[in-house]
Amino acid sequence: MNKEVDTSEFKSFFKSVQGNEGDKCRYNTRLDTYRCGCQHNCSYCYARSLLHFRGFWNADQPKAADIRRIARKVNQLSPGTIIRLGGMTDCFQPCEQEQRVTYHTILEMNRRRVGYLIVTKSALIAEPEYLEILDRSLAHIQITVTCLDDKKTLTYEKASPPSQRVLAIQKLQESGFDVSMRLSPVIEEFMDFEMLNSLDIERCVVEFLRINTWIRQWLKEVDFTKYSLRHGGYCHLPLDEKLKILDKIHIPEKTVCEDVTEHYEYWRKHVNPNREDCCNLRIL
Ligand code: SF4
């Protein structure tokens, strides 16, 4: 998920991201309840591509953060701050069902009145035990979907089937939560746009695929020839290609999360509903 990784990136569960990406993101402080691996092990994962070759990525056994240390850190935060839960790994990956570090972190954040932006590919977040503790004035949720075909999705990410993720978004939407579908990365070849536009999803965040050597190897069936723009160590689609894809998405409220500086300025001026917040969170 995060692009720039220094040696402290995977050692600490709490980090403010600086530089190109950190400067653009309003919620650039992240708290990882699990790290050094993610059981979803997505083929396009930026964290995986950066940690794998250093030997710091173990998809089978991610490290759980110590809830006592998290509680101490949360105590130091000012009420009203918004922290991103799961910046390097998914905070609702399967091990959460046993370890429950995310569950207890949410309780700590509620107690301290600190907001949380949860980005996940798991439908677990919409299960009753989590719905009970998510605070509508503190919780901002983005559930990521990259493809709507359950079978195909399994070939490149081991998260909840997209059909369950869509149901989770609809459930959270109906329950009055600040929830968006996160199309991240949106990969034109993988998305059935007609189906996407028929799902009655109200809000989405779009992030386009960027590739490096590792992602190019792991991700199959994508036409990489279009990814001709180099920026920040990755190859990106040019703006006109991104615009063509964006035009196919007819979700009423859409916003673009962007890494390429010139494109970021374009979305900010011409597309994003909130110029100051490309995540377009609903702050109560
Ligand atoms: S869910 Fe996110 S952190 Fe986990 S492997 Fe996929 S992209 Fe990486």
Question: Tokens for 242?
Answer: 């991104």
Given a contact cutoff of 8 angstroms between Cβ atoms, the answer to whether 251 and 201 are in contact is yes
Extents of the domains making up the chain: 14-270
- Note the pLDDT tens digit of each residue in 98-116: 999 999 999 999 999 999 9
> Looking at this protein, which amino acid is placed at residue 42?
C
Rounded percentage of the chain residues whose pLDDT exceeds 90: 84
| For the CA of 120, the nearest atom of ligand 1 | 1
Lowest mean pLDDT among 3-7, 81-85, 215-219: 3-7
Calpha distance 255→278 (Å, rounded): 6
The model carries a pTM of 0.94
Would you state the pLDDT for residue 10?
58
How close is the Cα of 116 to the center of ligand 1, in Å? 18
Rounded percentage of the chain residues whose pLDDT exceeds 70: 96
Would you state the pLDDT for residue 225?
96
Name 116's Cβ contacts closer than 8 Å, sequence gap at least 6. 82, 83, 84, 85, 106, 109, 138, 139, 140
Instruction: Supply the CATH classification number for the domain 14-270.
Output: 3.80.30.30
Around ligand 1, the residues with Cβ closer than 6 Å are 1, 38, 40-42, 45, 47-48, 89-90, 121, 157, 159
How close is the Cα of 250 to the center of ligand 1, in Å? 26
Q: Whose CA is nearest to atom 8 of ligand 1?
A: 45
* Residue 134 CA, distance from chain mean position: 18
- Note the pLDDT tens digit of each residue in 131-170: 999 999 999 999 999 999 999 999 999 999 999 999 999 9
- Note the pLDDT tens digit of each residue in 188-221: 999 999 999 999 999 999 999 999 998 999 998 8
> Looking at this protein, which amino acid is placed at residue 190?
F
- Note the pLDDT tens digit of each residue in 250-267: 999 999 999 999 999 999
Calpha distance 250→248 (Å, rounded): 6
